[in-house]
Structure 1
Amino acid sequence: MQMIQMFLKELDAEAKTTRKMLSIIPDDKYDWQPHPKSMTIRRLATHIAELPSWITMTLTTSELDFASNPYTPEVINNTAELLKYFEKNLADGRAHLEAATEEQLSESWTLRNGKDIYSTTPKSEVLRMAFSQIIHHRAQLGVYLRLLNIPIPGSYGPSADDTSF
C-alpha cells in the first residue's frame, strides 16, 4: 500500500473518532479549563478541528514561518459551528491528500520562527505529526470532558462509559 493510501485510510478512521469526541462538547462549557495554564475547551476543540488543515498546508507549501504568519484561530462558539469547521478542514485536507503524489511526500518542509528553524523534515513526517497531534489533543479533550463528568465515547474500542464494557 502506498503512503497516501495509508494516510487516507487513517484520516478516515481518526475522523470518525474525532467527530464523536467533538460532538459531545456541551455548548455551555466552551470557556471551561481545568487549570489556568491549560487551554479552554474552545481553544483545544478549535485546534483539533483545524488540524486537518495542516494536510493542505503541508502539501501546498514548503514551510510555516510563525514570524510572518501569526496564528489567529477561528472563533467557534458552539458545537454545531465546531463540527462544521472540522468537516470543512477535513474535506479540504482529504482532497489535497487524494490529489498528492508519493513524490511530494519526500519533499522537505520547514517549521520556523524567523531565523529559528525548529525542524526540516519530509512532508510525510509532517503529515504523521499532524495526525499524531489530532490523536494527542483529542485524548486531552477526553480528560477535560471526564473532569466535567461527561461520558466519553470509545476510540479504539469501548470506553469505561460504554455499558457493554
Structure 2
Amino acid sequence: MELSSLLKPAAVRVLGHATSKKRLFQDLGDITQSIYGLEATATVDALQERESLGPTGVGHGVALPHARLEGLDHVVGVFLRLEKPLDFDAVDRQPVDLVFALFAPKDAGVEHLKALALVSRTMRESSICAKLRANADPAALHAVLTEARSNQAA
C-alpha cells in the first residue's frame, strides 16, 4: 500500500480558516463530499464519534483523525496543512498544523489498520513534516507525501 493510492491530488489542501476542531471536521466533511462523494454530515458525525474515544492529535503538530463510513470500497485520505495551528487536544498539548484524515469502509479490517500505520510512519518523519510546513502549494504537498514512502521503500 502506498500513499498515492489513498490520497488524490485534489484531496490535499491548505486551510487558513479552521477556528476549532469542529470547524475542521466540517471542512473535512465538505472535502470528502466533493472529492469522494461521501455524505458530509455522516463524515463529520463519524469523525466526532471517533474523537470522543480519545484525541487523534498524535504530537509534534500532527493529527490523524479517522473514521469508518458507509459508501466506500477502499480507504481514502485527505491532507490539510493549516496556516494557523489549531488546538486539537494532542497528546503533547501542542497545536496541530498538519492533518491527515483517513476514511475506511465500515467493514474494513486490516486495510484500515495498514493505511493508518503507513500514514503514522510517514507523519512521524520530521524531515517530511518540515517539507510540508515549508510549502503552501497543494501539488507540491501531494508530491512530498506520495514520494516520501516510495523513496523509503526503495
Global fold match (TM > 0.5): no
Q: Which structure carries more helix by proportion?
A: 1
Relative to the length of structure 2, the TM-score reads 0.27
Which structure shows the bigger proportion of residues in strand conformation?
Answer: 2
Give the TM-score normalised by the residue count of structure 1. Answer: 0.26
